[in-house]
Amino acid sequence: MPSEIFQNIESTAVPLPIENVDTDQIIPARFLKATTRDGFGENLFRDWRFDKNGLSKEGFVLNNLSYSGTILVGGKNFGSGSSREHAAWAIHDYGFKVVVSSFFADIFKNNALNNGLLPVQVSDSFLSTLFEAIEQDAATIIKVNLEEQTISIAASGASENFDINPYKKKCLLNGYDDIDYLLSIKEKIVHFEKSRT
C-alpha cells in the first residue's frame, strides 16, 4: 500500500517553544479510544488548546490566527513518553507535514516517518534562529527540501542540513511502505526461522 509521496515544502510555521512536549500533551489518553486512524487532529494538544468546557484557550499557539502552515517547530525532546502512534496521526491529521526540533524521542521519530510526517532535527542554535525569525514575523517562509536534506529560512537564507536514514528518505520520496518491503522478503524470513532451530 504506497503511502503519500513527500514533496518539498515551503510554508509558514507554527512555533511551540516548549521543551519535552510529550505524547500525552500531543494527544491525551482519553482520546485514544478510536479504532481507525482518522480524526485525531481534532484533539491535537487538546488540553493546551481547549479548556474543560471545550472553549479555545487564548494563549495557545494553535488558537492564534497569526500562525499557520504545515511546519510545526517544537522545543527540545519532542515526542517523549508513550509509543502511541496516535501522536503522529494527530499532528499529520491536523495538517502538518514537518516537525522541527533540536531533539526527538526515538519512538516518535519512527512513528512520524511511518506516516509521511518528516521529523527534521536541527542544532540548538538553528532552532533558536527559527523561533526568533517566526516570532519577529509570523509570515516567515521556511523551506524544507528532503532530496537535499536542507531546511532554510527563505528571507534570510539561513540554512542547515539535517540527517535522515537513506532508506527512510527513499521511502518518503517514493511513497514506499515498510510492510510492503517486509512482505517482499517473506521467503528470507521463513528461511531464517528454519535456520535457527
**22-40: string of b/e by CB count within 10 Å (b at 16+)?**
ebebbbeeeeeeeeeeeeb
Rule CB under 8 A: is residue 4 a binding residue for other proteins? no
Query: Can you list the positions of beta strands (E) in the chain?
Result: 9-11, 13-16, 71-74, 98-101, 118-121, 142-145, 150-153, 159-161
C-alpha cell at 42: 481534532
Q: How many residues lie near other proteins (CB under 8 A)?
A: 56
Report the site for other proteins in 57-86 (rule: CB under 8 A): 75-77, 80-86
Check residue 157 and give left, alpha or beta (phi > 0: left; psi -120 to 50: alpha). Answer: left
Applying CB under 8 A, among 10, 32, 159, 176 the residue interacting with other proteins is 32
Smallest separation (angstroms) from other proteins to the CB of 89:
9
Smallest separation (angstroms) from other proteins to the CB of 134:
16
Smallest separation (angstroms) from other proteins to the CB of 105:
6
Smallest separation (angstroms) from other proteins to the CB of 157:
26
Rule CB under 8 A: is residue 49 a binding residue for other proteins? no
Nearest-angstrom CA–CA distance, 155 and 172: 27
What mask of x and - would describe binding to other proteins in positions 6 to 25, judged by CB under 8 A? -----------xxxx-x-xx
Phi, psi of 153 (to 5 degrees): -100, 120
Smallest separation (angstroms) from other proteins to the CB of 181:
7
Q: What is the largest CA-CA distance in the chain?
A: 63
> Site residues (CB under 8 A) for other proteins?
1, 17-20, 22, 24-25, 28-30, 32-37, 47, 52, 75-77, 80-86, 88, 103-107, 110-111, 114-115, 124, 165-168, 178-179, 181-183, 185-186, 188-189, 192-193, 196
